[in-house]
Structure 1
Amino acid sequence: MSSLAADNDAETTQPPAMPTFKQAVRLWAKIGLLSFGGPAGQIALMHKELVEERRWIGEQRFLHALNYCMLLPGPEAQQLAIYIGWLLHRTLGGLVAGTLFVLPGAIVMLGLSSFYMLYNDAPVVEALFFGVKAAVLAVVVEAVIRIGKRALKNRVMVAIAVAAFLAIYVVKLPFPLIILAAALTGWIGNRLAPLPFSGAAHGKGNAPDIRGVVDLMFERGELDHTRPTRWHAPRTIAIWLPIWLGPVALIAALTGSNSVWTQLGSFFSVMAVVTFGGAYAVLAYVAQAAVTSFGWLAPGEMVDGLGLAETTPGPLILVLQFVGFVAAYRHAGAMSPLIAGSLGSLLTLWVTFVPCFFWIFLGAPYIEQLRQNKALSAALGAITAAVVGVVMNLALWFALHVVFGQVRSVGLGMEVPVLSSLDWRAALLAAAAMVAMLRLKIGMLPTLAGSALAGLVLQAV
């Protein structure tokens, strides 16, 4: 009996064989098709498939990779897929993992964006989106609560969140400046008073030490590509910067600096550098620019785009694809609007996701040599706290434009609602969606579907 138990223990602790490239492609395709629920659900799905079930990567190395991806701009779940794909099968593995993580959702989003622009004036479609908008407000409020519970561990973190909210809502500071200020606050705070800034990074805790095939190969010294060479950084920069920015420069040269194509390429290239904290954190900044600065969308359409992105697999940042589609559709010139929208969608996808490969391929070999770094952890904790304040601003922005028909600007450009423009149907739907998600723990997709149907009924009334 004891011998049998020992055999079973050996079976559960011994990592499996290295997966073939074909096996990895099948798994990344599966993850891409099933990655609903935002970054938390996507990371949980990858953990289940890669660590718990297949044990291709160990628990501690998975969390170490996640910590690095949380420090980067862009969608951390996709970057984690690129990182693990790179660990398993070098650059090609990272390319396949990252592409398959985004591709299913991008295809669905392209179809939904086309449908939206063709039929959004139809009464039935308008009624459905009326309900979706109310549910999206509940989703954003739920995100504030979820991120807040994780990030606001003490009064210092609460103060950072409040300061970030006031900075973006009252003072109108640019989002990148708020993130930079939070990172500096965490880094300096860790040196002056380490206790309030410690333990805020993701991946902390007493995780079980599950070993994977990657860990075994590291011990054997078989993963040569994870050790940075003298020319790694210059070579990676020389390859990936032209891949990322070359099309943007070419489009600017061909269409001029004021074309919608140049505006999309340059604006979302900047977003790719400053989108710390995930899609919710940057949406308010993108919405402000897309609605106010460029005039690409109406306020309610940004909420519609987020509702579409919530229903697709892949990263939530795919909402930017919707923005690119609508902007190009409306500025098609002599081109067919659908073709122009599709090209705008493709351009936005390119400048949003290509940098993710650049960050991972550039930094992963160096990050593999790092372990716990308290200064980086403190900076990450402060950034996450600031993100709570930024997402609170997003929730307020959505609430103003969903529940009220009119808003007005007061001192310093702050928006306040015109109380007489309250839409009782939108308020009722939003309240019901919040009860469903926060109290009854009904999932996001059922809540979105139920709100859409309720919107159809209420519009009929």
Structure 2
Amino acid sequence: MGDHEPVRARPIEPAANPSFGEALRVFAQIGLLSFGGPAGQIAMMHRVLVEQKKWIDEATYLLALNFCTLLPGPEAMQLATYSGWRLHGTRGGLAAGLLFVAPGALVILALAALYASFGNVPVVVTVFTGIKAAVLAIVVEALIRIARRSLAGRVEWLIAAFSFAAIFFFHVPFPMIILAAGLFGYWRNAPARDSAAASPVPAVAVPLASTARVIGIWFAIWTLPLLAVAMTFGFDHVLSQLALFFSKLAVVTFGGAYAVLAYMAQQVVEGYGWLKPDEMLDGLGLAETTPGPLILVTEFVGFLAAARHGGETSLLFGVLGAAVTLWATFVPCFLYVFAGAPYVEWLKSAPKLKSSLSAITAAVVGVIFNLSLWFSLHVLFRARFEVAAWPLRFEVPEITSLDPAALTLGILAALLLFVLRAGIVTTLGVSAAASLLLALLG
């Protein structure tokens, strides 16, 4: 570290330092109003924390956003956690992160219980038909928005194309795609080492021993309760399987919620058989209608998987499954943020990390395109068949199975989003109401 003497980690003083109570009230408001997916949530936090309250300056907010995008997990929730950490240390970050997740988690818990109990009621099925069509339009909009922002040149377009081909045609695991893209981006920036050598990299803000201590504490908080679940119920029990699967997911979910949904849906539907494809889409629709991170769809999955364990629906086991899933999904986020937050300023002088992030983001666009196509096949067509010619394997729709109602609702949702610029909640509500109206009209 040379002549640089490391200092003890502490949150950097903001321009206007709010009391802990005032910060709690603001982060609770953010949690209750955090609709619209990651893009909407990040924009809303910017408006509140940077423009209105002026608690964080513009440059720091954008730097923190880059940092959170580098991490696995929901970037908007982690950005809220970092913002709370910056204002009031660990207790501020913990409070901000929990308040960002809690409102949506409680709503999803109630909706999942209703779905598990009454999911086959015709009215409920009709409503979710409209919601699924709206979700398809929302995912396509996300794809277009992210592609415009991320695919700046020919190389980025090629990375996105290879990423889509790898996951759609060859079923390459999502983590492998992200790893390959990150390594390519790092290698592509290799010539920058000469210019980087001319600019000394500043010392990190905290001793490595302190970082190791934070990692050890939060790793224990994350894993020990899940290990206790496995030892109580047995390692083959559905609760143990949920703990292991979503813990692994928490380590590889680079690129935000949309990017990981295709990988998660494949495993949940095809690998474990916990949900059917339509139920996976219903869960995403529920997560879209509620505040909080879109990745809360994992709670819906955990609830249904555990509630159905043993052949009969058990709401008690559903609640346990939801709790295990939430713990495995979100506790690692606190580990990543609290361990990495003191190093955020260092990102300014790490061009290779930025290059890796750029390549990963391009690969994520290809993965989201795969997700959009997967949703389209399952929303718009009643039947599909698989084409298998080694090493290729992919689904193709039966054209005659096109669902006219789903197509109509999808077009309506697209008009609302792309032409009328309606919000996500409005689009979902109108699509659900239109689905009921089409059912009444026969």
Tell me how far 1:188 sits from its aligned partner.
1.0
CA contact (8 A) 2:192 2:351 kept: no
- The residue aligned with 2:384 is 407
For the residue of structure 2 that corresponds to 1:231, the secondary structure is helix
> Higher mean Cα deviation, 359-368 or 287-296?
359-368
- The residue aligned with 1:5 is none
Gap runs ≥5 in structure 1: 1-14, 195-225
> Higher mean Cα deviation, 153-162 or 245-254?
245-254
The list of structure 1 runs, each at least 4 consecutive aligned residues, that deviate by more than 6 angstroms after superposition, is none
Taking structure 1 as the reference length, the TM-score comes to: 0.87
Kindly report which structure 2 residues correspond to 1:264-343, keeping only aligned pairs within 5 A, or say none.
Answer: 264-331=242-309, 337-343=314-320
Cα 1:141/1:193, change in 2 over 3 Å: farther
- The residue aligned with 2:437 is 457
- The residue aligned with 2:414 is 434
CA contact (8 A) 2:189 2:352 kept: yes
CA contact (8 A) 1:332 1:341 kept: no
Identity within the alignment, %: 55
Tell me how far 1:229 sits from its aligned partner.
3.0
Alignment of 1:244 with 2:222, yes or no, is: yes
Alignment of 1:347 with 2:324, yes or no, is: yes
Work out which of the residue numbers 408, 415, 424 in structure 2 matches 1:444: 424
Provide the rounded CA distance (Å) in 1 between the counterparts of 2:135 and 2:229.
34
CA contact (8 A) 1:81 1:94 kept: yes
Taking structure 2 as the reference length, the TM-score comes to: 0.91
What amino acid sits opposite 2:385 in the alignment? R
Kindly report which structure 2 residues correspond to 1:367-382, keeping only aligned pairs within 5 A, or say none.
Answer: 367-382=344-359
Provide the rounded CA distance (Å) in 2 between the counterparts of 1:193 and 1:283.
34
Provide the rounded CA distance (Å) in 2 between the counterparts of 1:309 and 1:43.
17
For the residue of structure 2 that corresponds to 1:188, the secondary structure is helix
User: For each residue in 1:144-177, what CA deviation from the matched residue of structure 2 results, as whole angstroms up to 9, or x when unmatched?
Assistant: 1011000111111111000000000001000000
Provide the rounded CA distance (Å) in 2 between the counterparts of 1:382 and 1:61.
23
Q: How many residues align?
A: 415
What amino acid sits opposite 2:288 in the alignment? E
Alignment of 1:120 with 2:97, yes or no, is: no
User: For each residue in 1:405-431, what CA deviation from the matched residue of structure 2 results, as whole angstroms up to 9, or x when unmatched?
Assistant: 111110232011111211111111112
- The residue aligned with 1:222 is none
- The residue aligned with 1:21 is 20
What amino acid sits opposite 2:414 in the alignment? M
- The residue aligned with 1:141 is 140
User: For each residue in 1:15-74, what CA deviation from the matched residue of structure 2 results, as whole angstroms up to 9, or x when unmatched?
Assistant: 854211111111110110011111111111111111111111111111111111010000
What amino acid sits opposite 1:293 in the alignment? G
Provide the rounded CA distance (Å) in 2 between the counterparts of 1:185 and 1:27.
41
User: For each residue in 1:91-134, what CA deviation from the matched residue of structure 2 results, as whole angstroms up to 9, or x when unmatched?
Assistant: 11110010000000101111111111111111111111111111
Gap runs ≥5 in structure 2: 1-13, 194-203
Aligned-residue RMSD, C-alpha? 1.6
> Higher mean Cα deviation, 346-355 or 407-416?
407-416
- The residue aligned with 2:209 is 231
What amino acid sits opposite 2:256 in the alignment? G
What amino acid sits opposite 1:111 in the alignment? A
CA contact (8 A) 1:324 1:341 kept: yes
Tell me how far 1:443 sits from its aligned partner.
1.6
For the residue of structure 1 that corresponds to 2:72, the secondary structure is coil
Alignment of 1:105 with 2:104, yes or no, is: yes
Provide the rounded CA distance (Å) in 1 between the counterparts of 2:53 and 2:74.
24
What amino acid sits opposite 1:235 in the alignment? R
